[in-house]
Chain A
Amino acid sequence: GAVVSQHPSRVICKSGTSVKIECRSLDFQATTMFWYRQFPKQSLMLMATSNEGSKATYEQGVEKDKFLINHASLTLSTLTVTSAHPEDSSFYICSARGLAVYNEQFFGPGTRLTVL
């Protein structure tokens, strides 16, 4: 299957700082990228969807000014958590999909964010 990388794998930051997470599709063109968040013992929850060159679409309850998503190319999407607070501590994971919407999504390995 296709490979999606995600960096960093783990980040610890102070409250009030911003953190950027990168998601790259290494061997295919990702028309659509998805950002999920997972809290302990919960399911992966979709935060936002981005299509290359377009503004991201955010799910209900996700603040777009707090979670900035950029999908500038067919191989790279970034999620920036701005002014992070302890309640933003979570596991963030991206996935990428090619043009065919019914096909499988390919996931990165995720980023564990801890905000002190």
Chain B
Amino acid sequence: ILNVEQSPQSLHVQEGDSTNFTCSFPSSNFYALHWYRWETAKSPEALFVMTLNGDEKKKGRISATLNTKEGYSYLYIKGSQPEDSATYLCAFFRIGHYSGAGSYQLTFGKGTKLSVIP
């Protein structure tokens, strides 16, 4: 069983605060880790695809780091704004149990629900 764990499950922060949350995943057979941002009633939006140990990616006030040896990734949000309120999902990219392009799949964590209070 492939476990992708995210913590915390939810958090509330004040506008302007910086915050971070964690995604842990199996450290063996690593291919890639995806981060998604999912606002209520919208489609999940891809934030980052991370592939190399030590990778650090940034998109505006959001950044992510990757440690494949110990199996974790951090997502940071600097100066949180109300529009950052969403559920943040990480997904471990794996090869499934059958052949073909469709065998390359994502296994998702349960997400971290962020609420930014104005």
Contacts and interface: CB of A to CB of B under 8 A. Distances in A.
Question: Interface size for chain B: under 10, 10 to 19, 20 to 34, or 35 or more residues?
Answer: 20 to 34
Interface stretch (A14-22, A46-54, A82-90): A46-54
Interface string A43-77: 11110011100100100000000000000000000
Chain B interface mostly: mixed
B43 A109 contact: yes
Interface stretch (B11-19, B62-70, B71-79, B101-109): B101-109
Interface residues of A, number: 30
Given A50-B102, A109-B42, A42 B110 contact: yes
A46 B98 CA distance: 14
Contact of A51 (B32, B102, B107): B102
Q: Which of B4, B100, B103, B105: most chain A Cβ within 10 A?
A: B105
A54 B101 CA distance: 12
Contacts, number: 67
A4 B44 CA distance: 10
A45 B4 CA distance: 12
Contacts of A102: 31-32, 49, 51, 93, 104
Interface of B: 4, 31-32, 34, 36, 41-46, 49, 51, 89, 93, 96, 98, 100-111
14 contacts: A1-B45, A1-B46, A43-B109, A43-B110, A44-B89, A46-B105, A46-B106, A49-B103, A57-B98, A102-B31, A105-B34, A105-B46, A107-B44, A110-B43
Interface of A: 1, 4, 31-32, 34, 36, 41-46, 49-51, 54, 57, 93, 95, 99, 101-110
